Structure 1
């Protein structure tokens, strides 16, 4: 489960003022979390990712503790915990994804448009990748609603379009998934997020290959 792989940028301009102004120190911590996440997720050997994400999750916890009303930090704590869960795998990951969900829901309550609605993107991806009841909280209807909301806020974003495509692919809607991937590829580069952008484009290429294989 490479979630919410996740995602976002250095601090994008938002359409409205955030509910809580992130301090200069908080912005530095946010950027550091984003950069390190991309390095672990896309450049670190698979066998080393669990330990690396465990360490990064501690940094995210500390950042949120310092600024508990910063939706941006809560979003990234959720993203880090969810990808940590993917690296960990098994039933032991379930507690992590529940923590991720809670962090993302807190972010939504504070500022739903923070980081261009990325909490919706991340929650949507959790809902379709986590097992459903009685094991987990997975729910395709909730996933579809969250991803739709994410795209309403950020229709040209690489991440909301990628996760929409992945969701559609998993539900056998290959033509619609291809359309969403093409939109993702048209997304503008994110300053300071070069590693994440390159990794996401690799994800897109992999998903395009899967779709092509299904349509042969």
Structure 2
């Protein structure tokens, strides 16, 4: 069994569907889309560490403002958790632990109240945290819980780029090379997400890099 690593916490990327939505839900979708696009810019188009940290802090601020206006929105809670875990990954080290604990609490709340929001992305995000943070006594890392969460995400969104990528990454870190290749290949074949060109391109680069490591 692998040892959890805290050097890099890879965040989840999700896409809300707004087809046929009401005007209010379209406004919500635009607000979420802005947050997603800001995140993609921070994650995939900002390469200086200090700039990345500041970029992610800014998007966290914007997400908190949106949640203050709509405190019951599960999709924004998921994205606040994503942004916090991304900032933890950018900062690195034990000083990032409070951020991932805050992200964990947000995701657990979403799973209790609206587990299928954003195609089950809370399960993917929480599963990712479980395998990428250290275990007890430092943090809450747990491979068994990670796999359970990631499998629940795949049950909701079997063709999604993120659940397949992160489960493949988990399997690779756990030494299950052949299974990892299967899921990473599925992720590489996922359909592009409308309006998420930068994010999809970044994720596909990660997929290809991981597949090359496993060849």
Calculate the TM-score normalised by the size of structure 2: 0.91
**Matches of 1:12 and 1:178 in 2, distance apart?**
29
Q: Which residue of 2 aligns with 1:37?
A: 39
Shift of 1:26: 2.8
How many residues get paired? Answer: 204
**Matches of 1:164 and 1:152 in 2, distance apart?**
12
5+ unaligned residues in a row in structure 1: which ranges? 15-21
Q: Which residue of 2 aligns with 1:114?
A: 117
Shift of 1:2: 3.9
CA contact (8 A) 1:81 1:97 kept: yes
In angstroms, what is the RMSD of aligned CA positions?
1.6
Determine whether 1:65 maps to 2:72.
no
Deviations 1:116-150 (A, max 9, x none): 00000000000000100110010000000000000
Match of residue 8, structure 1, among 14, 19, 22: 14
Determine whether 1:176 maps to 2:179.
yes
Q: Which residue of 2 aligns with 1:155?
A: 158
Q: Which residue of 2 aligns with 1:79?
A: 82
SS at match of 1:82: helix
- The 3 A distance-change label for structure 1 pair 203 and 143 is same
5+ unaligned residues in a row in structure 2: which ranges? 1-7
Shift of 1:24: 4.0
**Matches of 1:157 and 1:175 in 2, distance apart?**
20
SS at match of 2:120: helix
CA contact (8 A) 1:54 1:84 kept: yes
CA contact (8 A) 2:18 2:25 kept: no
CA contact (8 A) 2:9 2:129 kept: no
Deviations 1:83-138 (A, max 9, x none): 01000111110000011111111221221110100000000000000100110010
CA contact (8 A) 1:12 1:116 kept: no
Shift of 1:185: 1.2
CA contact (8 A) 2:188 2:204 kept: yes
Q: Which residue of 2 aligns with 1:90?
A: 93
Calculate the TM-score normalised by the size of structure 1: 0.90
